[in-house]
Each structure stands twice: as C-alpha cells, then as structure tokens.
Amino acid sequence: MTRVLVVDDSALMRRLLGGVLRAGGFDVTFARDGQEALESIAAAPPDVVTMDVQMPRMDGLACLDRIMLEHPVPVVMLSSLTEAGAQATLEALRLGAVDFLPKPAGAASLSIDELAPVLLEKLRAAMGARLRSSHRLTERVRLRAGRPAAPRAARYTEPAPSLVPDTPPGDPPGIVLVGCSTGGPPALDALLEPLPASFPWPVLVAQHMPAGFTGALARRLDKLCALTVQEVSRPVRLLAGHVYIGRGDADLILGRRPEELLAMAAPSAPEHRWHPSADRMVDSAMALLPAARLVGVLMTGMGDDGAASMARLRAAGGRTVAEAEETAVVWGMPGALVRAGGASAVLPLGGIAGALRDWLA
C-alpha cells in the first residue's frame, strides 16, 4: 500500500486529510511540524508527502529544503490563498516540491470534499515525478548557461520555419505559445531566463494554477529574466520581448482590435478541464494567425492539455516543441503531444530556449 506522510500542525487538517487519503487507498502517517517530519522520513521513508507551509519549530520550506537534500521524496505543498502563501508556494516549487494545492480556508470540513479528488490525483501524479529533474532545476540549468545544446539532443527535428513576410502593420512577426502544469514554474524559469530582452516574438503562457498564484508567478519571472512579464487580467497589446501569463482560474486567449493583437483573460470554458487552458489558447491563436507565425511549446505537466491543439498546429504548418521525457517532472502533456505525432522537435528543457533563439533569429 502507498504510504503518505501528512505534515500539518492543525489536528483538524490532519484528521480531514487522513480521512480523504485512507478512503483513497493510502496508508497514512502524520507529523505535526517539520522536525517531526524529518525524523519520520529518516526512520521510514514514505512514498509521498503533503506539507503545510506555516508550522512551529520548523516550517514547511525549511523542512522541504532538508528533505530534498537528505531524503528526496515527492512533496505536494498545501498553501494558503494569500500573497504570502503564493510567494511561499513558488519558493517551495523552486526548492523541489512537485506540486501544490490551495489549503481549505474557513470551514475546512465543508470544502474538503471538493479538494479530495484533486488531492488524490496530484499525489498519484507526484509519485511518478522525476525528482532529479525537479530538484534545484533552475540552479542546474544556470550552471549550463552559455553552453549550446548539442544537436543530437533533439530526437526529431524539422527545418526551421521561415517568417511570414506579409505580417500586418502593428502585429508582431509571430507568437510563442507555452503550455505547462505540474513542475511548470521552475521549468518556466529555465525557459525564459536565457531569452534576451530583444526576443522578437511575444510569449503567451498557460500555466495551470489557481487564481491568486499566477500574479505572484508573473512578478517573480519579471524579476528573474530580461523579458517583461505580466499577468493578463485585462486586454493588453502583444509586444515583442514581453511574456503574458494567463490568470489563474480563467483562460488566456488571443483577440484582435484594428491593427493590433491582444492577450485577453476569458472566463474558463467548462469543456476544458484545466485552466488556463493550453488547448483554448492555441486554438484562439490559430483562428487569427497563419500557423507559420506560431510556435507551440508544451512542457511538464500531468494530463494532455495542449496536445490536441498543438498537433493541429503542426499539421497546419506551424512549429511545435515537446519537452523530452528525461527532463520533464511529469511527462503527461508533452508525452501526449509526442504520441499524437504532433511534435516537430523533442528537446530537453535546457535546449528549448536556444532552439527558439535560433529559429527566430
């Protein structure tokens, strides 16, 4: 039976989470703070851990850091829906947490039933995560910065697309469309940090996250990279050298005014399971632009969001990249694109930015 360690200083949360996990077929043990968690993991390593952030003696971030260095196991964080909680969540993902869930607020016993199926799904996905890829991912990519990716790193490539010469006035020459989910924030670090401020195409990002977390993600990326990064909460004109992050619990779509393209937040479409939806983002772009002016990038994440639309993009003459299995924390989304025959190139994470620079130079 799969063993889960629940780390939380709240007796109520331990009881509620324990009930959900036992009903889901897990063997559950508990720790009241980070220090107890480290002792429990050293004595009998679990298959996966749920970790609260705010705890006495040793908080979740300090404990997570120790776990990743001493006894690496998959960790899913439970974070509050506050600005501080969002910042702590992004730091946890940087330190090596596989995924996170917003922690039930208010009457937790009333919201636990809504949380339960997502928690079980994320824990099962976390158990298959590649810890070597997620742990200190950004730092390892930085160490390799400046070393061009070896051509053989791409398992399948096609000639680079030529830019469409008849770009309408006011339009960027093309758009890069990025989809990611589990493991996505550190993967976005690695993708965007090497791109220069002069990068010629705007970048749209559909990262599966709840509302309240994508704004913090955009602000963090804006400080990290040379590109200008913003969360899309209202219609904004697309500009070269800019990155547009879809707002959590909404969808990011492309729109048009006379002589300008716009990134817009739209209410989440019920036919798509995950939001912001990569499939809806790509389909909206294909409705307004020729496929040759679009490049799709599908990175780590569970499920198959983005695979169908990017396969259609490639079939129509666009360019698509799937992150390689050896670097993806969870090879669900990019793997689905590869299996659908929709990947123009399959590249390790550290080679995607260089490929984009080369193709669009």
| Residues that are catalytic | 181, 208, 305
| Cα angle 96, 101, 102; round to 5 | 125
> Which residues pair with residue 251 across a beta bridge?
266
Question: 34-43 and 60-70 helices cross at what angle (nearest 10)?
Answer: 20
For CA atoms 129, 131, 135, 138, give the dihedral sign. Answer: negative
Both tokens of 221, joined, read: 């990326």
Per DSSP bridges, beta strands 175-180 and 236-237 are: unpaired
- Euclidean distance between CA atoms 161 and 342, whole angstroms: 15
Both tokens of 324, joined, read: 């390689």
Q: Do the beta carbons of residue 34 and residue 58 sit within 8 Å? A: yes
> Which residues pair with residue 68 across a beta bridge?
none
- Euclidean distance between CA atoms 90 and 83, whole angstroms: 11
- Euclidean distance between CA atoms 86 and 213, whole angstroms: 5
Both tokens of 210, joined, read: 């709840």
- Euclidean distance between CA atoms 84 and 80, whole angstroms: 8
H-only helix segments in the chain: 11-23, 34-43, 60-70, 83-95, 108-127, 131-134, 137-143, 184-192, 214-224, 278-286, 307-315, 333-339, 349-360
- Looking at this protein, which amino acid is placed at residue 191? L
- Euclidean distance between CA atoms 91 and 75, whole angstroms: 13
Give, as one character, the DSSP assignment of residue 351: H
